[in-house]
């Protein structure tokens, strides 16, 4: 059987067996719920069945949370060879989304198996957010270091003007204005403490070492200054190369 030939009904029996093996009584299509499982002394379990992960499935699960705290979504797992499937590409993000919503996730093995079976990948439960302090600090640092706003939101596939690129442009501009300079002198001209690393790493090919601790701008660096002139013009550098 191919994934495109599956129906939601094909998912029902494997998921039904999954919960029956856990001691639940299972019935299908109860008050618009695809599958309802019940066991003595436990909350009702509701499962929404869909051929693929989509927005409608998540919206249905949110609606079902008004009925029971134990809601699962179930969908057929794609084959390993289907690398472009959203599950194979974004599995961790999908599980994170389900966890945030408080819903469980069931994958149904339908392809390349003699007998289809269902597998729980995540049980429903209350979401307890944990903020990533390191990522928050990195975001705030990058925001504070950038001068102006040179990127249109949503342009992630284009060249992004980061704080790092701005500092590289500042270094290149100072070298263009004054010729070869020592790293220590460049720092005195208002460039951040990472000036030395920026020129030594030379990610953009804009710098070359003339002698120990002394750098000059390359032809590529001059081209970079021209290409990003609109950014260079916004960097405040006084007439003597010292930041205002």
- Beta strands 25-30 and 33-38: pairing type? antiparallel
User: Which backbone phi and psi does 77 adopt, to 5 degrees?
Assistant: -75, 135
User: Which backbone phi and psi does 216 adopt, to 5 degrees?
Assistant: -135, 160
Burial class (CB in 10 A: 0-12, 13-18, 19+), 82: middle
pLDDT in tens, 143-161: 888 888 888 877 766 788 9
Walk me through the domains of the chain, giving residue ranges and CATH numbers: 3-122 (3.40.1350), 141-232 (1.10.10.10)
pLDDT at 181: 92
State the angle between helix axes of 86-101 and 55-64 in degrees (0 to 180), rounded to the nearest 10: 20
Give the other-Cβ count within 10 Å of 102's Cβ. 16
pLDDT at 237: 62
What is this structure's pTM?
0.61
pLDDT at 206: 96
pLDDT at 243: 42
Residue 60 CB partners (closer than 8 Å, separation 6+): 48, 73
Which portions of the chain are predicted below pLDDT 50?
238-244
Distance (Å, whole) CA 24 – CA 18: 9
- Measured in residues, the chain has a length of 244
Distance (Å, whole) CA 160 – CA 140: 17
pLDDT at 244: 38
Q: How far apart are the first and last CA of the chain?
A: 70
Residue 76 CB partners (closer than 8 Å, separation 6+): 3, 6, 10, 11, 51, 52, 107, 108, 109, 110, 111
pLDDT in tens, 87-139: 888 889 999 899 988 999 999 988 767 788 999 999 998 766 677 888 888 88
Per DSSP, the residues of 184-221 read HHHHHTT--TTHHHHHHH-TTS-EEEEETTEEEE-HHH
Distance (Å, whole) CA 103 – CA 95: 9
Token couple for 172: 């290149």
Distance (Å, whole) CA 214 – CA 192: 17
């Amino acid at each position: 059987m191919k994934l495109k030939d599956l129906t939601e009904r094909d998912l029902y029996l494997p998921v039904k067996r999954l919960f029956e093996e856990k001691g639940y009584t299972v019935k299908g299509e109860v008050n618009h719920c695809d599958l309802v499982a019940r066991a003595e002394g436990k909350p009702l379990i509701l499962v929404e069945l869909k051929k693929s992960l989509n927005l409608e499935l998540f919206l249905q699960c949110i609606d079902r949370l008004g009925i029971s705290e134990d809601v699962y979504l179930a969908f057929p797992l794609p084959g390993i060879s289907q690398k472009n499937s959203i599950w194979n590409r974004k599995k961790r993000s999908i599980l994170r989304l389900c966890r945030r919503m408080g819903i469980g996730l069931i994958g149904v093995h339908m392809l390349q198996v003699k007998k289809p079976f269902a597998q729980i990948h995540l049980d429903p439960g209350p979401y307890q957010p944990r903020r990533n302090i390191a990522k928050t600090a990195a975001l705030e640092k990058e925001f504070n270091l950038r001068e102006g706003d040179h990127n249109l939101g949503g342009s992630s596939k284009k060249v992004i003007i980061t704080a790092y690129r701005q500092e590289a442009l500042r270094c290149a501009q100072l070298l263009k204005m004054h010729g070869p300079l020592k790293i220590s002198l460049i720092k005195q001209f208002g460039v951040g403490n990472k000036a030395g690393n920026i020129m030594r790493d030379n990610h953009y090919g804009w710098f070359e070492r003339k002698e120990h601790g002394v750098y000059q701008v390359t032809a590529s660096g001059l081209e970079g200054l021209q290409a990003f002139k609109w950014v260079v013009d916004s960097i405040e550098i006084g007439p003597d190369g010292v930041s205002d």
